[in-house]
Amino acid sequence: MILKKSINVMIVIVVVFLLLHSTPTMALRTKVFLMGYPKAAITSGIIEDDFHNEIDKNRFYQLNAKAYTLTTPPIEKATQGELRNYLVKKTGFLHFAEYYGEG
């Protein structure tokens, strides 16, 4: 009985992880949420960052990545800077986001 519950919990965790990393926008929203900005993660629009995608085209191709921009970015508490640009890398069928900065 306990083993069955443990397996069910593990399955739920794996399914949630897969869903949160299934698309570039979901991966980006997950990253922003985990950075401590849940409101921005839910409400901000996400657009492709054409400027960085063009400038760093070769590097992004090698990384299998694309840059995205939040239309309403969160403000970092320490520096009061906008956390606007993110790089989303595709690994297999999963996507992982990281803060890209103003680059």
Q: Is 95 helix (H, G, I), strand (E, B) or coil?
A: strand
41-68 per-position pLDDT tens digit? 999 999 999 999 999 999 999 999 999 9
pTM (2 decimals)?
0.88
The more confident residue out of 80 and 46 is: 46
- Mean of all residue pLDDT scores within the chain: 94
Res 80: pLDDT: 87
> Domains in the chain: how many in total?
1
Binned at pLDDT 50, 70 and 90, residue 103 comes out as low
**Full domain range(s) for residue 17:** 2-99
**DSSP class per residue in 3-56:** HHHHHHHHHHHHHHHHHHTSSHHHHHHHHHHHTT-HHHHHH--EEE-HHHHHHT
